Amino acid sequence: MISAALVMLMVPAVGLFYGGMVRKKNVISTIMLSFAILALISIQWVLYGYSLAFGPDRGGIIGGLEWAGLLNVGQEPSSIYATSIPHFTFMIFQAMFAVIAVALITGAFVERIKFSAFLLFSLLWATFVYDPIAHWVWGAGGWLAKLGALDFAGGTVVHISSGVSALAFVLVIGARKGFGKVPMESHDVPMAVIGAVLLWFGWFGFNAGSALAANGVAASAFVVTNTAAAAAALTWMVLSWINRKPSVLGIATGAIAGLAAITPASGFVSPLAAIAIGVGAGIICYSALLLKAKLGIDESLDVWGVHGMGGTWGTIAIGIFASTLVNTAGSNGLIYGNPSQLVVQTVAVAVVWVYSFVVTFALAKILDATIGLRVGAEEEEVGLDISQHGERAYS
Amino acid sequence: MKKIEAIIREEKFGEVKDALEKIGVVGLNISEVKGRGRQKGIRLQWRATSYVVDMLPKVKLNAVVRDEDAERAIDAIVKSAKTGRNSGDGMIFIMPVEEVVRVRTGERGKDAI
């Protein structure tokens, strides 16, 4: 339950992280997106989301609705999931994962999204993208789980799904007005750094909590989480230093990249492997940002570059570094003489990439053609704080 | 009477103020402004990329002096605001002033300064 509360803190932390990086006229809007998601998806999860993701299996594809409204979910431990803790505890912990996944995507379309379209999209995305993928990977009977794909705390389910969806979404909504012509300066870097630090803090609940018990695996996950974040932060700092100067937004972004990468692997790898994963995450995500800049895509706050690519690297890294010495419920990776795990991990990555991209692209296209995804040009220029919410952050 | 409007580096304001005070120019006001000159802008970084900020923060200083004090004031500002760097030290504009009135006493012209 404490872990669930820690993950809950990550949701407004995403709001602060993103809010600091947007322009002054859009900070309320950006923070509001995360807050609204916390409220909306919490309800969705109780009503039917949890049941779709974790309810009794239907052909490995989706959960049945037997647990809708949390019917048949109670204070007693579940016989299938986390059998040592109350079923409610498992359910609410998972609720926060669903919330954070949707909140992460908001970084892609800040400063131009129409609020009503955003709410509808979030609800549809949670229902048609997150819930099925969560079932495939974590649900009892899910087909990727049966295949042997490992994802300790959400590299595929949370980070690849949200990161790749972010990319698909911006290909539909398009760039911010003036993108590439006028500087889109972060209006409050300290706010972004506070957000990043709170994310790092909450991430201990995210990863260590995914052991679903206060045991050795939880402790190991805690250690590798911190180690990978630190390694990636240092890597990014050095990269920014080589190019210009050691950047604080850079070191913070690096930490998030490292956290995203270690997420799927956190229950299966050793601390030294975590350093390798962290350094890899720093280099891969930094390169992804450079590539994105070269392509001129306005995926505004790098959800794809940091979470999508970080999650991809981490999920594949399981196939390289995983060891049953760390977790007997896990598997051995390439360097422990089991190349087949690498194949399974790559398949899981490919499946989640394709599914997230295709479904999100379709959802965004449909919404764009019906209610419209963007605010009007004038509203965008004035800023979403005033045009969408009738408030301003600083008077 | 002349009005001296000087755009200077923010960090140089303290020295300029002291230099003016030494030659008897005490009354002045300032505002924080943003602008550009030949310096054009500086490049800042954002995650893996960078961008140019071309409107840089400066201090705009206003002071009204007697005609005979103008050259000395200009001299004092130039000496105290100069850094020797390639660009960005600012500009000074001099304008004639038609009339000056001190609100408290109603004094006018040179006596009011």
Q: pLDDT at position A1, please?
A: 81
H/E segment holding residue A172 = helix A161-173
Q: What would you measure as the largest C-alpha separation in chain B, in angstroms?
A: 61
Mean pLDDT (chain A) is 93
Asked if A351 and A147 touch (Cβ cutoff 8 Å), the reply is no
Q: A237-296, pLDDT tens digit by residue?
A: 999 999 989 999 999 999 999 999 999 999 999 999 999 999 999 999 999 999 998 898
Close Cβ partners of A215 (under 8 Å, ≥ 6 residues apart): none
Question: pLDDT at position A156, please?
Answer: 94
Beta carbons of B67 and B2 less than 8 angstroms apart: yes
* Parallel/antiparallel/unpaired status of strands B49-53 and B42-46: antiparallel
At residue A333 the predicted structure's pLDDT band, cuts being 50, 70 and 90, is: confident
Give the start-to-end residue ranges of the domains of chain A.
2-389
Non-local (6+) Cβ contacts of A182 within 8 A are none
A250 Cβ under 8 Å from any chain B Cβ:
yes
With contacts defined as CB-CB under 8 Å, which chain A residues touch B50?
A: 244
* pLDDT tens per residue across span A175-208: 999 898 888 889 999 999 999 999 999 999 999 9
Work out the pLDDT band at A324, boundaries 50, 70, 90. Answer: confident
CB A14 within 8 A of CB A103: yes
CA torsion A321→A324→A329→A331, rounded to 10°? 50
Residue B44: the pLDDT is 87
- Residue B85 in contact with partner chain A when CB distance is under 8 A: no
Can you read off the two tokens belonging to residue B86? 């390639």
d(C-alpha A221, C-alpha A207), whole Å:
6
Residues paired with residue A62 on neighbouring β-strands, in sequence order: A58
- Count of other CB atoms within 10 angstroms of residue A294: 9
Mean pLDDT, range A3-14, rounded to an integer? 91
A2-389 CATH, one of 1.10.287.110, 1.10.3430.10, 2.60.40.10, 3.40.1410.10: 1.10.3430.10
Give residue for tokens 């972010």.
Answer: A166
Q: What is the pLDDT of residue A395?
A: 80
Cβ-Cβ contacts under 8 Å, A245 against chain B: 45
* Chain B residues near residue A240 by CB distance under 8 angstroms: 45, 48
H/E segment holding residue B66: none
Q: For chain A, what percent of residues have pLDDT higher than 70?
A: 100
pLDDT, tens only, B23-44: 999 999 999 999 988 877 788 8
Report the gap between the CA of B55 and the closest CA in chain A (Å).
11
Q: Are A166 and A304 in contact (CB under 8 A)?
A: yes
Q: A-B interface: how many C-beta pairs under 8 angstroms?
A: 35
Domain that holds residue B87: 2-112
**Which residues are bridge partners to B60 per DSSP?**
B7, B31
Contact A184 B48 (CB under 8 A): no
Residue A13, C-beta contacts closer than 8 angstroms, at least 6 positions apart: A195, A196, A198, A199, A201, A202
| Residue range A42-58, pLDDT digits in tens | 999 999 999 999 999 99
Report yes or no: B74 and B92 within 8 Å, Cβ to Cβ: yes
Q: How many domains does chain B have?
A: 1
* Residues of chain A with C-beta less than 8 angstroms from the C-beta of B44: 185
The model's confidence at residue A327, banded by pLDDT at 50, 70 and 90, is confident
d(CA A67, CA A380): 42
Query: Residue type at A171?
Result: L
User: What ipTM was reported for this prediction?
Assistant: 0.71
pTM of the model: 0.89
For residue A124, the model assigns a pLDDT of 97
Domain CATH code at residue B52: 3.30.70.120
Residues A60-98 have pLDDT tens digits of 999 999 999 999 898 999 888 988 899 999 999 999 999
In Å, the largest CA–CA distance within chain A is 62
